[in-house]
Amino acid sequence: MSRTEPTHDPGDLRSMKAAEAALLRRYADSRDPAIKEELTERLMPLARSMAMRYRGGSEPLEDLIQVAGLGLVKAIEGFEPDRERPFAAYAVPTILGELRRHFRDHVWSVHLPRSLQERTSDVRDAIETLSDRMGRSPTVREVAEHLEITQEEALEALQAGDARRTVSLDAPRQADDTESMPMIETVAAAETGYEAVESQLAAQNAGLDEREYLVLRLRFGHDLTQAEIGRRLGVSQMQISRVMRKALRKLLEAVQDDEPVRDEPERELAIAA
């Protein structure tokens, strides 16, 4: 036997809407907690339907319904009947905003132990409470004493709260400045190995022999003088000078697409010792 879905008479629906509108106006005038409670019970299906949009994710549906209920209460408290717009038009954005805030504050993109997540939430709540009470931001010690935990545990929770969200490396370093340096520029490091590879390839393309390559590497890579290179290799400075001139001529020919280079005066190719 098929199940028959309940139906509502249009007249009954109009009566319900009229009763809710009357209660909303009475609450706006009196701020009676009993009326607010009755409105919350009547309008809870709206909040539940908003929470159902996010079911199936990592958050339990019961938690989402509670968050949506909190949004509903805020909507009831902030609704102004005199503005002559439907309550749903005001309540829906308010409830959805509360749900999104919940996801922002409680759903972690970086996995941490459940106990640390809970402690981080406790520390955040404690900071808000103590800030309101003292009129300033509390110290780590004051937060730890308030929660009856060690300062190390409070500090760990604070650090976890700062690091829990992932950030795109392409995002600007300053969130309010789209022209600022991308985050990736602050974590990158210069890779000097590319220069070594380029030097090796240049030497190969120029046809340098092992001795010529070694002399150039000692002169320009290790910043040794011709005299120091000669002592290291057991030859005279004059021999090192000739090797360098020959090697530099080969490199020059290689970068000029192998075009022959006329003999230049030694003063133009000589490297100061």
Q: Is 193-269 in the same CATH topology as 13-106?
A: no
Any bridge partners for residue 172, and if so which? 182
Could you please state the CATH topology (level 3) that the domain comprising 13-106 is classified under. Four Helix Bundle (Hemerythrin (Met), subunit A) (1.20.120)
CATH architecture assigned to 114-187: Orthogonal Bundle (1.10)
Q: Which secondary-structure segment (H or E) carries 180?
A: none
pLDDT per position as a tens digit, 133-168: 888 888 888 989 999 999 888 888 877 766 555 555
Q: Taking a C-beta distance cutoff of 8 angstroms, is the pair 116, 157 a contact?
A: yes
Q: Are 59 and 75 in contact (CB under 8 A)?
A: no
Give the helix/strand (H/E) hosting 76.
helix 61-78
Q: Write down the pTM of the prediction.
A: 0.41
Among residues 128, 126, 124, which one has the least CA distance to residue 148?
Answer: 126
Q: Would you kindly state where each structural domain of the chain is located, as residue ranges? A: 13-106, 114-187, 193-269
Please state which CATH number belongs to domain 193-269: 1.10.10.10
Q: Which residues of the chain have a pLDDT value below 70?
A: 1-13, 57-58, 104-112, 161-206, 255-273
Q: What is the 3-state secondary structure (H, E, C) of 128-167?
A: HHHHHHHCCCCCHHHHHHHHCCCHHHHHHHHHHHHHCCCC
